[in-house]
Structure 1
Amino acid sequence: MKTNSIGLAVQESVKMVESLNVLLSNFQIYYQNLRGLHWNIKGKRFFDLHIKFEELYNDSQLKIDSIAERILTLEGAPLHTFEDYIQKSIIPVGKDISNDEKAVQLVVDSLSLLLQLERKVLEDAAAMNDEGTNSMMSDFIAEQEKTTWMLKAWLA
């Protein structure tokens, strides 16, 4: 079995890079949605949601960088064009959303999709003994589960 410089099987690492690039693409669409929500939110809850969306897009920007750096660590190349992101993303584009409940629902739905992708990456990382990716996914999942719970409580 041929291994890369960090001791992981090359063939499995190539597959992991593909999965992480799908996750990266989805995070980029999620990030851009959050920017749009931050800019366009209106109504009596403007101040609270404007701040919350900024918090979420700042967090997602850090996660995007972590995913891209993990791809590089696995000796792959992170995707970096909107064409690739749109092609590989399952997260819907949230265009012209200014209503508070629609905005928060888009975030909840997006997080649900991200969690599905992250759980698959986590499963595959565990199977190939890729503790670096595994640890990153565990951290993302725990944080996003809590955010989902809080946003669903807000919607209730």
Structure 2
Amino acid sequence: MDNLYSALNVQISNWSVLYTKLHRYHWLVKGPLFFTLHEKFEEFYDEAASVVDEVAERLLTIGGTPVATMKEYLNLATLEETKGETTSNEMVSSLIADYKQLKSELKELADLADEQNEDATNDLAVGLIAKIDTHIWMLSAYLGE
């Protein structure tokens, strides 16, 4: 189970980093689509906060201990805090890359959970993948891709 605990803690860390990044974007976005993106980034960071809580509670339920400090998040996260994005297109492109990475790691988590007969954790990962697919599609459409 240790590898499952570790994978869940990476998710907690990644979604915590994403939460902070999304706040940054929410505050700093500019341009003609300010209102649209400002609202969308808020929607995404609210979701990220909810995911952190859900994953941490799942980890506690199966006997693990969630990481709970910024230092731990930054040490475990596979997402980068920021690359200095300043334009809305740079922000959206960065989010697409982050969501694609989260999706890949969630697929690994789902497989690991399945191997360990941890159905609820598998369901959690698969459910997040479905949400992320929609985010990738919408953000890509914003960029005209």
Q: Counterpart in 1 of 2:34?
A: 46
Which residue of 129, 133, 143 maps to 2:117? 129
Runs of 4+, deviation exceeding 2 Å: 95-98
The reply on whether 1:67 has 2:40 as its aligned counterpart is: no
- Where in structure 2 are the equivalents of 1:25-36 lying within 5 Å? 25-36=13-24
Measured against aligned partners, the alpha-carbon deviations of 1:109-131 in whole angstroms (never above 9, x if no partner) come to 11011111101000001111101
- Measured after TM superposition, the shift of residue 38 of structure 1 is 0.3
TM-score by length of 2: 0.95
Which residue of 127, 133, 154 maps to 2:142? 154
Structure 2, unpaired ranges of 5+: none
- Measured after TM superposition, the shift of residue 155 of structure 1 is 0.6
- Structure 2 distance, partners of 1:113, 1:99, is 21
- Measured after TM superposition, the shift of residue 147 of structure 1 is 0.9
Aligned length, in residue pairs = 144
Q: Counterpart in 1 of 2:102?
A: 114
Which residue of 61, 70, 76 maps to 1:88? 76
**Residue type of the partner of 1:77?**
T
- Structure 2 distance, partners of 1:96, 1:49, is 17
Structure 1, unpaired ranges of 5+: 1-12
The reply on whether 1:57 has 2:55 as its aligned counterpart is: no
Report % sequence identity. 31
- Structure 1 distance, partners of 2:130, 2:79, is 20
The reply on whether 1:76 has 2:56 as its aligned counterpart is: no
Aligned-residue CA RMSD in angstroms? 1.0
Measured against aligned partners, the alpha-carbon deviations of 1:23-80 in whole angstroms (never above 9, x if no partner) come to 1111111111001000110111100000000000001111110000011011111001
Q: Counterpart in 2 of 1:3?
A: none
- Measured after TM superposition, the shift of residue 96 of structure 1 is 4.7
Which structure is larger by alpha-carbon Rg, 1 or 2? 1
C-alpha contact 1:36 1:95 (8 A) present in aligned 2: no
